Amino acid sequence: MIASLDGTVAAIALDSLVVEVGGVGYRVFAAPSVLTAAVPGGRLKLFTHHVVREDLQALYGFRTVEELGFFGLLLTVTGVGPKVAMAIVGSRPTAELQLAIMQQDQAVLVSIPGIGKRLAERVIFELKEKVAAAGVAALVTVAGQPPAEGDVVGALQALGYSLPEAREAARVGLGMAGAGASLEDRVKMALRMLARDEPAPR
């Protein structure tokens, strides 16, 4: 299992690139935002999902662990393969997509090329509870923070965000949602803030 690659960009194609590590070139499928930012001869680190099947072995690369984790979650949806999952992940910031699923906003998913209404409905139906549960299942109180903020931090960390990102988003999100807001509402506000701050795919 190849979990990440850190090497030199040897070649760039329409839907993939070759990363050379220790004299070995690895072909990695990636989103347009990764491909356009890559420079031949430049250094690149990608977090990878290694697909191994009887008829296929392929690597899919992502800039962040959040994108990688969300890609893996999408693959659990009936009828969603690596190509469709990559199209979804590469379309918008991860937090924006997670928020759309939690809010059952089909329009966001249908706006992605190749994603029809039925598939959007299926993604939301199969993932809305998983996305919410991923945040709620790991509720923790971070030392030195009010419990409400610590809950949001723990939820965001369970969704794959780093501690500094989670702390800042929780702080801002709590202020936007208000002290009486539910955990779900506070997490939604924090995700909204993260979606605003993440660089949009190009």
How far does the chain reach from its first CA to its final CA, in angstroms? 29
CA-nearest of 89, 69, 71 to 161 is 69
Q: Under a CB-based contact definition with an 8 Å cutoff, are residues 149 and 171 in contact? A: yes
**Mean pLDDT, residues 66-90:** 94
Mean pLDDT of the residues in the chain: 84
Q: What pTM does this model have?
A: 0.70
Task: Compute CA 148 distance to the chain's CA centroid, rounded to the nearest angstrom.
Answer: 24
The two tokens of residue 29 are 């499928």
**Mean pLDDT, residues 132-136:** 60
Q: What is the 3-state secondary structure (H, E, C) of the chain?
A: CCCEEEEEEEEECCCEEEEEECCEEEEEEECHHHHHHCCCCCEEEEEEEEEEECCEEEEEEECCHHHHHHHHHHCCCCCCCHHHHHHHHCCCCHHHHHHHHHCCCHHHHHCCCCCCHHHHHHHHHHHHHHHHHHHHCCCCCCCCCCHHHHHHHHHHHHCCCCHHHHHHHHHHHHHHHCCCCCHHHHHHHHHHHHHHHCCCCC
Least confident of 21-30, 84-93, 192-201: 192-201
Each residue of 140-168: pLDDT tens digit?
A: 334 344 445 667 787 787 777 888 888 88
The two tokens of residue 38 are 């890559």
pLDDT surpasses 90 at 76: yes
Domains located in the chain, CATH noted: 4-62 (2.40.50.140), 65-131 (1.10.150.20), 136-195 (1.10.8)
At 180, the pLDDT band (50, 70, 90 cuts) reads: low
Locus of tokens 């190849």: 2
Alpha helices for 41-105 (secondary structure H): 65-74, 82-89, 94-102
Task: Compute CA 28 distance to the chain's CA centroid, rounded to the nearest angstrom.
Answer: 17
Q: Under a CB-based contact definition with an 8 Å cutoff, are residues 71 and 84 in contact? A: no
At 135, the pLDDT band (50, 70, 90 cuts) reads: low
pLDDT on residue 189: 82
pLDDT on residue 178: 66
